[in-house]
Amino acid sequence: MMSGVRQSRILMLAIRERHRRIGTGSTLIRSFTSSSMLKGADSVILEVRVSNGPAINLYNKLGFKMIGSLRAYYRDGEDGYRMQIVLQN
């Protein structure tokens, strides 16, 4: 029997301006990573624009690490970063 890596993926996360900097994003991401772990995921991955410093800082604070860069990843040609957190099962 072959064992494969099971990843969850955050496709999009947007927090309204009035709900930023009060823990809303952290709460959502922690809930998602906990749920992913309970469902057997080994890691969570996401992509983020290189210009989105606040989001990158949040992801770093929560334990995500940059695992790659994505040249011209977004429709407007902006580069992105791929980030991952390894879950402790």
pLDDT digits (tens, 9 = 90+) for 6-61: 999 999 999 999 998 999 999 999 999 999 999 999 999 999 999 999 999 999 99
Assigned domain for 31 exists: yes
Q: Is the pTM of this model over 0.85?
A: yes
> Which residues does 74 contact at the CB level (< 8 Å), separation at least 6?
49, 80
* Contact assessment for residue 64 and residue 83, using Cβ atoms and an 8 Å cutoff: yes
- Show the DSSP H helices in 1-89 as ranges: 24-38, 53-61
Amino acid at 34: S
pLDDT at position 1 over 50: no
- Domain range for 35 is 7-86
The domain that holds 66 is classified in CATH as: 3.40.630.30
pLDDT (average), residues 60-66: 98
Assigned domain for 2 exists: no
pLDDT at position 4 over 60: yes
Structure confidence at residue 68 as a pLDDT band (50, 70, 90) = very high
What is the count of structural domains for the chain? Answer: 1
